[in-house]
Amino acid sequence: MTQAIIMDVDTGIDDSLALLYLLASPEAEILAITCTSGNVPAKQVAINNLAWLELCGSPDIEVALGSEVPVLAPLMTTEETHGPQGIGYAELPAPTRTVSARHATEVWIELARSRPGEIVGLVTGPLTNLALALRIEPELPRLLKRLVVMGGAFNHAGNTLPTTEWNIAVDPESAKMVFDAFSGLPADRRPIICALDVTEQIEMKPEHIAEIGRRAGSTPDEIIAEADVDGTLSTASNSVVRYLTDAVRFYMEFHIAHNQGFLAHMHDPFAAAMALHPELGTTRAATVDVELAGSLTRGQTVADWAGMWGREPNADIVVAVDPPRFFDHLVERVSEFARRVG
């Protein structure tokens, strides 16, 4: 049995691996990929998605351009984290097709209306497109089977401001609109939130990439090393392994430069896995709201764990994860897929 998914992304190195994971998963039916500005501008996000799809032999999946700016805040992008094109050092072949004639908001609404109760929405970038779609179709929370969001920080430091995670910080107003709109749903329809509390436990190491290459049958047997000259490019014979290695190397160099170790936090692949296999994480219900006015805390996600606001929970927050189990699953899926693609 397959799970229909709409991906809303700001691709993005970890978004790229999330896409590879879903393409590799036979139980995933990617209906469309909608693009928003975040890691890089939305038009570059669309190019990245089109390029990955063509490389992976999946050129028929719809890619729709969405909002190029947040609903209120000035646009922030983070090329220093993800590279000038958003995919690190990888230089993917230019795609031969263009984006859909439909806007991302149309995609969200029309697909959800056409398959009520069947689709999981997966958002791994700012929530702008979904918020705009909710303005047009406020029934979206009841039309979707579930929503999975990578975003927020609760009992954890932020990665953009001291208490604020990137995807929420880019467009706090949209995040608040989404959390408000998804209030009042049955427990099995509450959004699953993958925040920094767990996603920063998802530490991809050079050994993980090397193992993907080995299992894919790629040569030579290479491993990203901290001692390498920055920007050293992969010579892997397998195209998926080569471009993925070049992307992840950039991400690891960013992390070591910011005293986080020679690793890469793979936020978005974990969220993608939760969209298919929610048993990979332990969740706890809470009422979530977003701070919009704080001079030091704008964009902070606040969880009321104890019901002090007197409002019903509107989110299932992932509070525990088994990283080795997740990486075993991810490496197996992506390496088998890379072997098939070549």
Residue 2: how many other CB atoms lie within 10 Å: 11
Residue 215: how many other CB atoms lie within 10 Å: 16
* Residue extents of the structural domains in the chain: 3-203+262-341
Q: Mind telling me the catalytic residues?
A: 267
Q: What is the pLDDT of residues 239-278, one digit of tens each?
A: 999 999 999 999 999 999 999 999 999 999 999 999 999 9
Confidence at residue 137, expressed as pLDDT on a 0 to 100 scale? 99
Mean pLDDT of 146-175: 98
Confidence at residue 124, expressed as pLDDT on a 0 to 100 scale? 99
Mean pLDDT of 272-292: 99
Type of residue at 297:
T
Confidence at residue 1, expressed as pLDDT on a 0 to 100 scale? 87
Instruction: Record the pTM.
Output: 0.97
Looking at the domain 3-203+262-341, which fold is it? Inosine-uridine Nucleoside N-ribohydrolase; Chain A (3.90.245)
Confidence at residue 57, expressed as pLDDT on a 0 to 100 scale? 96
Length of the chain: 342
Confidence at residue 10, expressed as pLDDT on a 0 to 100 scale? 99
Q: What is the pLDDT of residues 18-36, one digit of tens each?
A: 999 999 999 999 999 999 9
